[in-house]
Amino acid sequence: MSHNTDQLGDVVLLTGMSGGGKSVAMHALEDAGYFCVDNLPAELLLDFLKLEQQRGERRVAIAVDVRSASSLPLLLPLLKQLRAQGVAVRSVFLDASNEALMRRFSETRRPHPLREDRDTNFGALESSADESHRLLLDAIKLERELLGGLKAESTIIDTSQLRPAQLRAWLADLVGPNAGAKLTLVFESFAFKHGVPSDADFVFDVRVLPNPYYDRELRPLTGRDAPVAAYLAAQPEVGLMMGQIAGFLSRWLPNFAADQRSYLTVAIGCTGGQHRSVYLVEMLARQFSHHGHVLKRHRELDAR
């Protein structure tokens, strides 16, 4: 591929676990104006981008998954080659917990592309429930191994607890007009009772802070509401915690940017993901708004 990439628009490489939400993500990218190609073999990637370069600026999204397992070993070297040539390729990896993936395959009754059913002495009979569960889990584990290197080079979105509308919104933010910033900084609130986001680079536990939940008037509100914000702003511990988190990030963000990181997720968790974590995410996103591309997410609130 030519080193002249001036006429090549944004390039998104979409990959991840089967059942992770790729169809929803591709529709979101199409709605955002991307020309989308699904399951492109890695051998054709350079030729395809060269053709797009000749056509002029057009944003393209390419989805690759384990259905092209034979060409997966080529993909990571090609991704590094393109980046070395100055092509701004944003690799997005859709992940989910094993439990979420198992549930989704069970609900849709679609086979995993890597699942291998064993023939019995009586012929190819339907597996028992236990055997079916084991075969599916083995397929998911194998897929994680095959995609491990690509995941390490990608922006990760954990879709375990995301509704389709949330995934579409988060992806739209990710590839939005400021997506070319050197480092995208994401602040995400969450509830520990629903699990820690697997895409978090840093996790801060703010359950030790005073909880507005125990105030009857504040209980139905959220950390985005003025009465809750006023309550938390008046607590010395909250200011201390926020200052220490901000100080840590201010000190180390330049190092992450210098290390060619494109995406950094800071997850703030409290018990219910409604008051304390939401307030800190709102405040920190405002404090770091000068940084460039700053996103805020409220996993539990966004799901309502």
In the prediction, which pLDDT does 31 show?
A: 83
Amino acid in position 278: V
Distance separating alpha carbons of residues 168 and 126, to the nearest angstrom? 36
Rounded to 5 degrees, φ, ψ at 219 are: -55, -45
276: confidence class by pLDDT, cuts 50, 70, 90? very high
**Nearest in space to 58 (alpha carbons), one of 33, 84, 94:** 33
Asked if pLDDT for residue 128 goes beyond 90, the answer is no
pLDDT for position 121: 42
How far from chain centre, in Å, is Cα 63?
Answer: 15
| Confidence band of 86 (pLDDT split at 50, 70, 90) | confident
| Token couple for 99 | 């439990």
Give CA–CA dist 232/226, Å, rounded: 10
What three-state secondary structure class fits 263?
strand
User: Which class for 123: exposed (0-12), middle (13-18), buried (19 or more C-beta within 10 A)?
Assistant: exposed
Of 78-92, 190-204, 263-277, minimum mean pLDDT range: 78-92
* pLDDT class of 9 with cuts at 50, 70, 90: low
* Nearest residue to 160 (alpha-carbon basis) of 26, 268, 300, 263: 300
The superfamily in CATH containing domain 11-99+146-174 is: P-loop containing nucleotide triphosphate hydrolases (3.40.50.300)
Which stretch of DSSP H or E encloses residue 69?
A: none
Q: What is the mean pLDDT of the chain?
A: 86
Split at pLDDT 50, 70, 90, the class of 7 is low
pLDDT tops 70 at residue 73 = yes
CB 274 within 8 A of CB 301: yes
Q: Report d(CA 70, CA 138) in Å as an integer.
A: 19
Q: For residue 229, what pLDDT is reported?
A: 97
**At residue 20, does pLDDT exceed 90?**
yes
CA–CA separation, 77 and 100 (whole Å): 30
Q: How is the chain split into domains, by residue range? A: 11-99+146-174, 102-137, 184-302
User: Residue 179: pLDDT above 60?
Assistant: no
Does the model's pTM come out above 0.85? no
Tokens of 179: 């997506």
d(CA 155, CA 255): 18
84, pLDDT greater than 60? yes
Q: Above pLDDT 70, what percent of the chain?
A: 89
- Residue 21 vs residues 136, 253, 271, 292, 299: alpha-carbon distances, Å: 17, 30, 27, 28, 16
Instruction: Give the integer Cα–Cα distance in Å for 128 and 281.
Output: 47
Q: Please give the average per-residue pLDDT across 233-238, as a whole number.
A: 97
Task: Check pLDDT > 60 for residue 119.
Answer: no
